[in-house]
């Protein structure tokens, strides 16, 4: 019995928390071929705000005409506070798309990307610092 519980525990620990094939990347710029430049999960912005690029890459096509990006600020209690929704028109057969996102305050953020049928395409975490 102990072996079965230990095996189950090991299997649970090895399940990835996000099992989608898409990759969400934060960067300063995306070239015309979908290659990110200056990839990071931490960015410095000025006191008047600043932007970065969100890049979603998929092994297969996006398979949607629209994407929805939901941005949440993480408060001091680790609670997600809704910030904004950004809608993007995408090509279903493309394997990537980018979108500029503007931030106005420092902190930690969770970003969720969904297709037009509310299927989760990617999740990312980014930290914004004021300089």
pLDDT, tens digit, 9 for 90 and up, residues 38-53: 999 999 999 999 999 9
13 pLDDT tier (thresholds 50, 70, 90) = very low
pTM: 0.81
pLDDT score recorded for residue 7: 36
Q: What is the mean pLDDT of residues 97-105?
A: 96
Q: What is the mean pLDDT of residues 109-131?
A: 95
Q: Is 89 left (phi over 0), alpha (psi -120 to 50) or beta?
A: beta
Question: What is the percent of the chain with per-residue pLDDT over 70, rounded to a whole number?
Answer: 83
Coil, helix or strand at residue 9: helix
Distance CA 21, CA 85 (A): 23
Is the pLDDT at 18 greater than 90? The verdict is no
pLDDT score recorded for residue 59: 85
Give, as one character, the DSSP assignment of residue 38: S
61 pLDDT tier (thresholds 50, 70, 90) = confident
Is the pLDDT at 88 greater than 90? The verdict is yes
Element (DSSP H or E) covering residue 90: none
Summarize pLDDT for 2-11 with one digit per residue, the tens: 444 433 333 3
Instruction: Specify the fold of 20-130.
Output: Immunoglobulin-like (2.60.40)
């Amino acid at each position: 019995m102990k072996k079965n519980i230990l095996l189950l525990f090991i299997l649970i620990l090895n399940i990835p928390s996000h099992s989608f094939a898409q990759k969400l990347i934060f960067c300063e710029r995306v070239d015309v071929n979908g290659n990110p430049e200056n990839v990071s999960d931490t960015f410095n912005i000025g006191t008047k705000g600043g932007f970065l690029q969100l890049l979603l890459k998929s092994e297969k096509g996006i398979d949607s005409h629209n994407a929805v990006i939901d941005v949440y600020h993480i408060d001091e209690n680790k609670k997600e506070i809704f910030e904004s929704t950004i809608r993007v028109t995408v090509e279903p057969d493309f394997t990537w798309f980018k979108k500029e996102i503007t931030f106005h305050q420092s902190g930690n953020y969770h970003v969720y990307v969904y297709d037009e049928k509310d299927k989760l395409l990617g999740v990312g975490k980014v930290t914004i610092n004021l300089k």
